Amino acid sequence: MPQVDPRRLIPRTDRLLALPAVVAARPRLSEPVLLALVRDAQQRARNGDLAPDRVEDAVTAAVAARTATSLRPVLNATGVVVHTNLGRAPLGPAAVDAVTDAAGYADVELDLRTGVRSARGAGTRAALLAACPAAADALVVNNGAAALVLATTALAAGRDVVISRGELVEIGAGFRLPDLIVSTGARLREVGTTNRTHLRDYADALGPETGCILTVHPSNFRVEGFTAAAPPDQLAALAAEHGVPLVTDIGSGLLAADPALPGEPDAATTLAAGADLVTASGDKLLGGPQAGLVLGRADLVATLARHPLARAVRADKLTLAALEATVAAGETPVGRALHADPDRLRQRAERLGAALGAPVVPHDGRVGGGGAPGVPLPGWAVRLDEAVAAPLRTGTPAVLPRVHDGACLLDLRCIPETDDERLLAVVRAARSAPGPTGPGADRTP
């Protein structure tokens, strides 16, 4: 009797698309996505990697595992609070609720009382001004770089931007501030040196072609030793004397000074010292969504808002909703992590370490995201074998530890205490999983 080709036993496509699991998934997954999952299982069976009688189970499992987005939630066990690779600031409950509420139709540009069009994001603007009374007006754009590029374009396109050589910084992924400014059509007028820039350097550079003076917080590095910088109030007075706007990019988005972060600039203090405009990010120390903030003189904010580029960089309704809720709620996950009690962190780490039979070691966390460079956040970490790092990253939920000096360190600063038991279960599963092989296979960047 001739042998039946096993490929003939592979279930037909229409039969697999009619499986209960596939039918139930249709509200969350499109037909092309479901069809791709079915065809993948069929192809595996054709290749001999899957028995024909296991195809239905494979499709059911694949549909259950497939989510509408490829992004996965991660437990941040690095001790780095504003972790750029993990999306920077995690949103608080109020912001998450606001995003959900705004996901459908929302009155982002409509006055429901009168039924006519209104200013976009008026509630977000009001929340920012209430939180930073030193600002006369505020504008929200889609990120911090956009805030700076809008300011230099609107104020200095075709003219000079006067800036200290020590502030021509490069940040993550090769992003260089000078390249951004030049792209706006402005001309860089560099003054001073890398380590010392005096008030007279700015004064000598000012003239009829000056569009603005720009100062930039170095963010992710510090220059120490033989250094000098123009005092902010004197620089503001010089700018006012020459009728030139002083724009200050503070970077990390603090609206008011935080005693835990000495030396980190904030919007209120910077504006009080005489800056005309402050630009900052919303998804760093402010603890909100990705956004760019412009705060300061009402006439200058209005100039930026009227510029054609403002339309290209405007924030969407979800950003506006999350930002307003973040500012109004006050406490954020970023704030809680920054001010976490070291004694409580030690207690949690020791409880986790005892359950795993692992030692607990001192571990300094970091602000991250270019904020407060060099400022340690004293804490503790559970020390595990380095080989555990890779299965932790690929587990469910994913856990990102810090790999350092041949060890896998779990710092609980950025992990909600309610997730401690979940973390314990993931670590136990990771310890029993086979790890990758090869040099550097489980190095965490």
How would you list the strands of the sheet with 407-411, edge to edge? 74-77, 398-404, 407-411, 377-385, 360-365
The pLDDT assigned to 220 comes to 65
Average pLDDT in the chain:
92
Residue 157, sorted as left (phi over 0), alpha (psi -120 to 50) or beta, turns out to be: beta
Whole-angstrom distance, CA of residue 268 vs CA of residue 20: 58
Which residues is 176 bridged to in the sheet?
A: 170
Question: Is 163 in contact with 188 (CB distance < 8 Å)?
Answer: yes
- The answer to the question of residue 441 being in a domain is no
230 lies in the same domain as 323: yes
Mean pLDDT value of segment 237-256? 95
- The answer to the question of residue 33 being in a domain is yes
**Between 298-306 and 144-156, two packed helices, what is the crossing angle to 10 degrees?**
90
CATH of the domain at 392: 3.90.1150.180
Which residue from 279, 295, 287 is spatially nearest to 322, judged by alpha carbons?
287
Burial of 136 (0-12, 13-18, 19+ CB in 10 A): middle
Radius of gyration (C-alpha) of the chain in whole angstroms: 27
277 lies in the same domain as 236: yes
265 lies in the same domain as 359: no
- The answer to the question of residue 443 being in a domain is no
The dihedral of CA 101, 105, 109, 115: what is its sign? negative
Residues ≥6 apart with Cβ < 8 Å to 131: 255, 256, 327
> Which residue, 330, 352, 374, sits at the end of a domain?
330
**pLDDT digits over 185-230, tens only?**
999 999 999 899 999 999 999 999 999 999 998 876 777 788 888 9
The pLDDT assigned to 271 comes to 98
Q: How far apart are the first and last CA of the chain?
A: 60
Whole-angstrom distance, CA of residue 307 vs CA of residue 211: 15
> Who has greater pLDDT, 375 or 355?
355
40 lies in the same domain as 169: no
The yes-or-no verdict on residue 24 having pLDDT over 90 is yes
Other C-beta atoms closer than 10 Å to the C-beta of 406 total: 7
Whole-angstrom distance, CA of residue 291 vs CA of residue 147: 9
User: Structurally, how many domains does the chain consist of?
Assistant: 3
Whole-angstrom distance, CA of residue 274 vs CA of residue 234: 9
Mean pLDDT value of segment 98-108? 96
305 lies in the same domain as 183: yes
Whole-angstrom distance, CA of residue 320 vs CA of residue 291: 9
- The answer to the question of residue 68 being in a domain is no
53 lies in the same domain as 139: no
What is the number of residues in the chain?
445
Which residue from 148, 189, 88, 121 is spatially nearest to 278, judged by alpha carbons?
148
- The answer to the question of residue 228 being in a domain is yes
Whole-angstrom distance, CA of residue 123 vs CA of residue 116: 16
Distance of CA 445 to the CA centre of its chain: 17
Question: Is 400 in contact with 75 (CB distance < 8 Å)?
Answer: yes
Mean pLDDT value of segment 399-403? 98
96 lies in the same domain as 198: yes
Which residues is 281 bridged to in the sheet?
A: 292
Which residue from 198, 232, 57, 212 is spatially nearest to 150, judged by alpha carbons?
212
The pLDDT assigned to 434 comes to 67
Which residues is 138 bridged to in the sheet?
A: 295
* 261: amino acid identity, one letter: L
The pLDDT assigned to 2 comes to 60
Question: Is 197 in contact with 164 (CB distance < 8 Å)?
Answer: yes
Paired sense of beta strands 360-365 and 398-404, if any: unpaired
Whole-angstrom distance, CA of residue 254 vs CA of residue 132: 10
**pLDDT digits over 117-166, tens only?**
999 999 999 999 999 999 999 999 999 999 999 999 999 999 999 999 98
> Which residue, 282, 315, 330, sits at the end of a domain?
330
CATH of the domain at 220: 3.40.640.10
321 lies in the same domain as 241: yes
Whole-angstrom distance, CA of residue 276 vs CA of residue 279: 10
Which residue from 161, 212, 224, 159 is spatially nearest to 374, judged by alpha carbons?
224
3-state secondary structure of 225: coil
Question: Is 251 in contact with 283 (CB distance < 8 Å)?
Answer: no
Whole-angstrom distance, CA of residue 256 vs CA of residue 242: 29
The pLDDT assigned to 1 comes to 53
- The answer to the question of residue 439 being in a domain is no
The yes-or-no verdict on residue 373 having pLDDT over 90 is no
Percent of the chain clearing pLDDT 90 (strictly above): 82
Mean pLDDT value of segment 404-419? 97
- The answer to the question of residue 231 being in a domain is yes
- The answer to the question of residue 69 being in a domain is no
The pLDDT assigned to 437 comes to 39
192 lies in the same domain as 312: yes
167 lies in the same domain as 104: yes
Question: Is 365 in contact with 377 (CB distance < 8 Å)?
Answer: yes
Structural domain for 287, as ranges: 92-330
Name the token pair of 32.
């092309």
- Least confident interval from 4-18, 113-127, 374-388: 4-18
208 lies in the same domain as 343: no
Mean pLDDT value of segment 244-248? 98
230 lies in the same domain as 202: yes
> Who has greater pLDDT, 414 or 260?
414
Which residues is 191 bridged to in the sheet?
A: 164
Which residues is 160 bridged to in the sheet?
A: 187, 210
> Which residue, 308, 330, 352, sits at the end of a domain?
330
The pLDDT assigned to 443 comes to 39
